[in-house]
Every structure is written in structure tokens, then in C-alpha cells.
């Protein structure tokens, strides 16, 4: 028997400004955060949704939200094009 999944069938995009995005770098490569943990402000966000962090018109992070915790935090991954600094924000 297969296990139930936490991913939704319909994904949404969560867009945030890089200047106000508070996160913890869980993994990094060459000084940029590739996996981030952040606090959710929207209880309707689910695993499988997309996190898009913008600075003006520039994309700094574009990755799938892979896990949402009961405490209101989430983890997202962008291993290809992240420009977020790996320092704690």
C-alpha cells in the first residue's frame, strides 16, 4: 500500500521580495543558499508549491517547497540558480 503524500495536485507560486525575505540557509554552494528554511505567513501554502524570491525584476531564488512543518516553517530548494547569500538573514 502506498503512503499518502503531502503534495497538493494544484501548485501555487509564493512571491516574496528579497529585501524582506527572512531565511536560514540549510545548504549552500559557493556562498549562495541552495536550500532555505523560512517562516510561512500563509497557512494555505503546501509542499509542492513554488517559492519565488525577487529583487526588482531579478529572480534570486526559484525553487519547490519540499516540506512544511506544523510550526509554520517551510523548506525550499533551488540548486541551479539561487543568488541568495548563504548568510543567515
Rg (CA), the chain: 13
Note the pLDDT of residue 5.
56
Note the pLDDT of residue 88.
54
Confirm whether 56 is domain-assigned: yes
Note the pLDDT of residue 8.
52
Confirm whether 62 is domain-assigned: yes
Residue 80 CB contacts under 8 Å (≥ 6 apart), including other chains: none
Confirm whether 32 is domain-assigned: yes
- Domain count of the chain? 1
What band does 66 get if pLDDT is binned at 50, 70 and 90? Answer: very high
Confirm whether 57 is domain-assigned: yes
% residues pLDDT > 90 (the chain): 78
Confirm whether 2 is domain-assigned: no
Confirm whether 15 is domain-assigned: no
Longest dimension (CA), the chain: 47
Helix H or strand E encompassing 46: none
What band does 14 get if pLDDT is binned at 50, 70 and 90? Answer: very high
Helix H or strand E encompassing 23: strand 23-29
What band does 41 get if pLDDT is binned at 50, 70 and 90? Answer: confident
Note the pLDDT of residue 85.
92
Find the domain containing 51 and state its range: 25-89
Amino acid at each position: 500500500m502506498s503512503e499518502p503524500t503531502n503534495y497538493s495536485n494544484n501548485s501555487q507560486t509564493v512571491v516574496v521580495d528579497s529585501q524582506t525575505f527572512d531565511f536560514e540557509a540549510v545548504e549552500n554552494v559557493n556562498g549562495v543558499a541552495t536550500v532555505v528554511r523560512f517562516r510561512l505567513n500563509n497557512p494555505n501554502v503546501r509542499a509542492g508549491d513554488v517559492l519565488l524570491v525577487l529583487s526588482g525584476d531579478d529572480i534570486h531564488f526559484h525553487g519547490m517547497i519540499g516540506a512544511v512543518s506544523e510550526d509554520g516553517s517551510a523548506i525550499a530548494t533551488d540548486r541551479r540558480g539561487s543568488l541568495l547569500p548563504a548568510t543567515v538573514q
